[in-house]
Amino acid sequence: MTMRRMLAPCLAAMVLASPAVLQAQQNPEEVAQAYFAHFRAGEMDRVAALMHPRPLESFRTFMLQMMGEDGLDETPLAGRDDLATMPADSFFLAFTESAGAQEEFGDMFSTLEVQPLGHVAQGDSLAHVVYSARLEFMNQQAQQTTVLTLRRHRGTWLVDPGDGLMNMMGGGLMMLMMSAGMQAGILGGLDMDDDHDEDMDDDYDHDEEDDEDDDDEDDDEDEDDDDEDDDEDEDEDDDDPPAS
């Protein structure tokens, strides 16, 4: 057996097992699952790697137009003259880091659970994955069945979360995040009434304690004044000539 014949199966195995081929073999549901797993872990570089070029380019164009030169001066991206020329995925990462998205949404996304249910194909190049998503925000559970679009790009499925800041930063989970926020706001408003009453009671008690303390202080001051008066009287007595 020649060296070439021995190496051929090895080379074939390497090609077949390469990440590009593995990704090409991934179905839309698997890509969506991986995308959300990276979101949950805060691995934004891997999130960007699974995004289709279309939304990345659209996002860069939109943000540069919206912020303009003056606007950029007020962001951590100020001073960078390569924003218009850097790759769109690098722009997305730079903006995400500068916006502190991970700090802002990290706790929320760390609770994200996703279960793909299937997909609807639209032609050969679009797949809409329907999935059940759940996350926790301010101790409130929000759940929603929603849809994520994927597009074919060079034989692989890549995510298109849609245009706009919220879609890009929220990974297509905007509606779920809004639902969670509103639920937390609704219940927070209801809880606040009870907590507010408790706080009012606590403040009232504290005020009462303060009043008592003030009274004590006043008493102490009065005692001090009395003591001073006594001292003065004694001094005066000392100063007075002895009675003859």
The binding site for other proteins (CB under 8 A) comprises 117-122, 128, 130, 132, 140, 142-147, 149, 162, 175-176, 178-180, 182-183, 186-187, 190
Nearest to other proteins of 42, 188 (CB atom): 188
Query: To the nearest whole angstrom, how small is the minimum distance from the Cβ of residue 175 to other proteins?
Result: 5
What DSSP string describes 19-33?
HHHHHHH--HHHHHH
Nearest to other proteins of 34, 126 (CB atom): 126
Read off the tokens for 131: 């999935």
Query: To the nearest whole angstrom, how small is the minimum distance from the Cβ of residue 145 to other proteins?
Result: 5
Nearest to other proteins of 47, 177 (CB atom): 177
Phi-psi region at 144: left, alpha or beta (left = phi > 0; alpha = psi -120 to 50):
beta
Q: Rounded distance, CA 158 to CA 156, Å?
A: 6
Read off the tokens for 159: 């995510």
Nearest to other proteins of 26, 146 (CB atom): 146
Query: To the nearest whole angstrom, how small is the minimum distance from the Cβ of residue 71 to other proteins?
Result: 21
Helix, strand, or coil here: 17? coil
Nearest to other proteins of 7, 182 (CB atom): 182
Query: To the nearest whole angstrom, how small is the minimum distance from the Cβ of residue 162 to other proteins?
Result: 7
Nearest to other proteins of 48, 176 (CB atom): 176
Query: To the nearest whole angstrom, how small is the minimum distance from the Cβ of residue 203 to other proteins?
Result: 24
In this structure, the dihedral spanned by the alpha carbons of residues 171, 173, 175 and 178, taken in order and rounded to 10 degrees, is -90
**Quick count: other Cβ atoms within 10 Å of Cβ 97?**
14
- Beta strand spans in 96-137 (E): 113-122, 126-137
According to DSSP, the residues that pair with 152 across neighbouring strands are 157
Query: To the nearest whole angstrom, how small is the minimum distance from the Cβ of residue 99 to other proteins?
Result: 23
Judge whether 142 and 135 are in contact, CB under 8 Å: yes
